[in-house]
Amino acid sequence: MPKPTAPAPHGSNFIRNVVEEDLRSGRHPGGVVTRFPPEPNGYLHIGHAKSICLNFGLARDFGGRCHMRFDDTNPEKEETEYVESILRSVRWLGFDWGEHLHYASDYFDRLYAFAELLIERGQAYVDSLSAEQIREYRGTLTEPGRDSPWRAREPAENIDLFRRMRAGEFPDGAHVLRLRLDMASPNINLRDPVIYRIRHHPHHRTGDRWCVYPLYDYTHAVSDALESITHSVCTLEFEAHRPLYDWFVENLPLPSRPHQYEFARLNLTYAVLSKRRLIELVEGGHVDGWDDPRMPTLVGVRRRGYTPEGMQLFCDRIGVSKADSWIDMSVLEQAIRDDLEPRAPRACVVLDPLRLVIENFPEGGAEACSAPCHPHRPELGRREFPLTRELWIEREDFAEVPPKGYFRLSPGAMVRLRYGYVVRCTGYERGEDGQVHTVRCEYLPDSRSGTPGADAYKVKGNIHWVSASRGLRAQVRLYDRLFAVPHPGATRDYRDDLNPDSRRVIDAWCEPGLAAALPEQRFQFERHGYFVADLRDSRPGAPVFNLTVSLKDSWSKAGG
Ligand code: ATP
Ligand code: MG
């Protein structure tokens, strides 16, 4: 079945146009080389998926390659656990870096040697101001900065100090290495940026080998050039850093001259996409860990049942531009539905059970009913489930007093039991709590679905059901958006905007075939939505299902 109304996959965007033009003009005879450069200080989120699809997508579509590179220059915040989860997530999304798994820490020796070169040339100096003083001296957007009193240090003294910094003679913060550029530059990033700092902290890869670490801008430009990256794509907040990026590329003896291009980061409504906030949600116990199915992390959406193809479809649909904007969560949810619709097998599951007794059906009897696994894909085969005297139906499929236009069960009314018979409601019983607990009916033996007589019955309602005696009981987790408002944190702490009803755990009744569900197998529960057998907690024979996305957008009415 064709995918519904998506724009052409991998549609054009300004970065693809640049790449195409560069390849046409022969600027990069070796082909396009991109990279995805996360800092291993958290788990990847949906925003990263946009960057991954863009960078790896360029390499895939233009016959180039994309490097996986960890920007691991911040030893306090980085961990091997994050490295591993990031690699797993990129692979899960469907991308492969081949032999090009790199770490900025692989370049620490070369970065250090280049720094000495800059010192020798008089282009860098050791500054002994405190971090706070450096901030004061930097000036503002409207006022120029002032020169540090240490700016005039001679190369020989700078080299001596820098080597002693590296040797561990000074505590954190005692000195930094800065470029000697222009303290009056209108671009604050060019006011003698710091390129090295002292950090006595073990690094997850280099251990105690270093106590000076290069800063991001320096590391990033040098790493790109050492790897012969052709197009270094990053988010808009780095636009003002580009002159510095270019400065490094021009001033150091590097093997290639990469170019930086900026695009708008993804902002998604009803979510937060910032590693810092995601860490707070986990550590504050607001969610059950990084892979909680409500989290916008890639491990979270995976457990939620989102597919890599659905994520790629979403990234294709939102495109890549230079203007910051918000993408509505419904766009993501629709991409997931559109991906799942043609491939998720169907199943009948009753989420809010009410007992239905067919009084003229034999006690202990069972009749096999069958239904297509997918309504438009006969090749997926059929499934079978038994019809018995007692069934579960959805509580909302019965009304004591039917409202206008209600075509389901109510006293005296007829309805079709999906893939089974037409039944007529003969009565109902209420418990002491006032709630209806049993509905009674009789079935019309010549109305069975698929038999010649069936069409004689023109009933509008067609409800699903599960055998009470032969159905399978399973835990189902009904997830909703993690935040109750489109822009969490816009008017108060974002944690106050958490949706208190983002998870409801229920026991549901499923058609018996679902007992065989394997972890991560996805289904459409008819009339409800898409569900996935939980990756962690589901076992064959004892499945546990997560709601991936409902069939309809229940938030559009709410005006969110
Ligand atoms: P966060 O703001 O969540 O901490 P980050 O930008 O600090 O994210 P990095 O690990 O540095 O995270 O990001 C790796 C790559 O992913 C960078 O190239 C970055 O530009 C990109 N990226 C991060 N967030 C988004 C986003 N929301 N949309 C698009 N790209 C993103
Ligand atoms: Mg960052």
Neighbouring residues of 131: CB distance < 8 A, sequence distance ≥ 6: 173
DSSP state of 359: T
pLDDT tens column, 390-420: 999 999 999 999 999 999 999 999 999 999 9
**According to the model, what pLDDT value does residue 75 have?**
95
265 in contact with ligand 1, CB cutoff 6 A: yes
Contact indicator for 223, 69 with CB cutoff of 8 Å: yes
Same fold for the domain at 275-305+474-558 and the one at 348-470?
yes
CA 39 to ligand 1: nearest atom: 10
Instruction: Kindly state if the Cβ of 185 falls inside 6 Å of ligand 1.
Output: no
Which atom number of ligand 1 is nearest to the Cα of residue 275? 3
Q: What is the mean pLDDT of residues 370-389?
A: 97
Kindly list the domain boundaries of the chain, sorted by start residue: 14-263, 275-305+474-558, 348-470
| Residue at token pair 């059901």 | 465
The pLDDT value given to residue 457: 85
Which residue(s) pair with 214 in the sheet? Answer: 196
Q: Is residue 468 helix, strand or coil?
A: coil
Residue that the structure tokens 């550029």 belong to = 181
Ligand 1 atom 16: residue of nearest CA: 48
Residue ID of nearest Cα to ligand 1 atom 12: 38
Catalytic site residue 227?
A: no
pLDDT of res. 244: 98
- Helical (H) or strand (E) element with 355: strand 353-358
Counting ligands in written order, the one closest to the CA of 48 is: 1
Q: Using alpha carbons, select from 104, 210, 222, 212 the residue that is nearest to residue 162.
A: 212
| Mean per-residue pLDDT of the chain | 95
Residue 324 CA to residue 321 CA, distance in Å, equals: 8
Whether residue 4 is predicted with pLDDT greater than 60 in this model: the reply is no
pLDDT in tens, 19-75: 999 999 999 999 999 999 999 999 999 999 999 999 999 999 999 999 999 999 999
User: Domain 14-263 belongs to what topology?
Assistant: Rossmann fold (3.40.50)
Q: Given a cut of 70, is residue 8 above it in pLDDT?
A: no
The reply to whether 39 belongs to the active site is yes
Instruction: State the pLDDT at residue 7.
Output: 42
The pLDDT score that the predictor gives to residue 557 is: 54
Query: What's the gap in Å between 68 CA and the centre of ligand 1?
Result: 14
What is the torsional sign of CA 46, 52, 55, 57? negative
Residues 77, 248: Cα–Cα separation, whole Å:
26
Q: What is the pLDDT of residues 241-284, one digit of tens each?
A: 999 999 999 999 999 999 999 999 999 999 999 999 999 999 99
pLDDT digits (tens, 9 = 90+) for 332-358: 999 999 999 999 999 999 999 999 999
Per-residue pLDDT, averaged over 126-155, amounts to 97
In this structure, the strands spanning 422-430 and 436-443 are: antiparallel
What are the two backbone dihedrals, phi and then psi, of residue 278, each rounded to the nearest 5 degrees? -65, -40
In the predicted structure, residue 449 carries a pLDDT above the cut 80: yes
CA distances from residue 325 to 268, 269, 484 in whole angstroms, order as listed: 9, 10, 20
Best CA proximity match to 420, nearest among 443, 441, 439, 393: 443
- Distance CA(118)–CA(214), nearest Å, equals 13
- How crowded is the C-beta side of 126, counted as CA atoms within 13 Å? 22
**Global pTM exceeds 0.75:** yes
Find, among 158, 236, 152, 144, the residue nearest to 191 by Cα. Answer: 144
Active site residue 302: no
Stretch 479-506: mean pLDDT = 97
Q: How far is the CA of 39 from the centre of ligand 2 (A)?
A: 6
Ligand 1 close to Cβ of residue 220 (< 6 A): no
Task: Please give the class, per CATH, of domain 275-305+474-558.
Answer: mainly beta
Mutate to test the pocket of ligand 1, among 56, 265, 272 (most ligand atoms within 8 A of CB): 265
| 350 φ/ψ sector (left φ>0, alpha ψ -120 to 50, else beta) | beta
Give the active site residue among 197, 205, 242, 275.
275
Q: What pLDDT is stored for residue 556 in this prediction?
A: 67
- In the numeric block, which tokens belong to residue 66? 């994309």
Kindly indicate whether the domain formed by 348-470 is annotated with CATH number 1.20.210.10.
no
Hey, what are 217's tokens? 């801008």
Measured from the CB, is residue 194 less than 6 Å from ligand 1?
A: no
DSSP 8-class letter at 269: T
Q: Is 40 in the pocket of ligand 1 (CB under 6 A)?
A: no
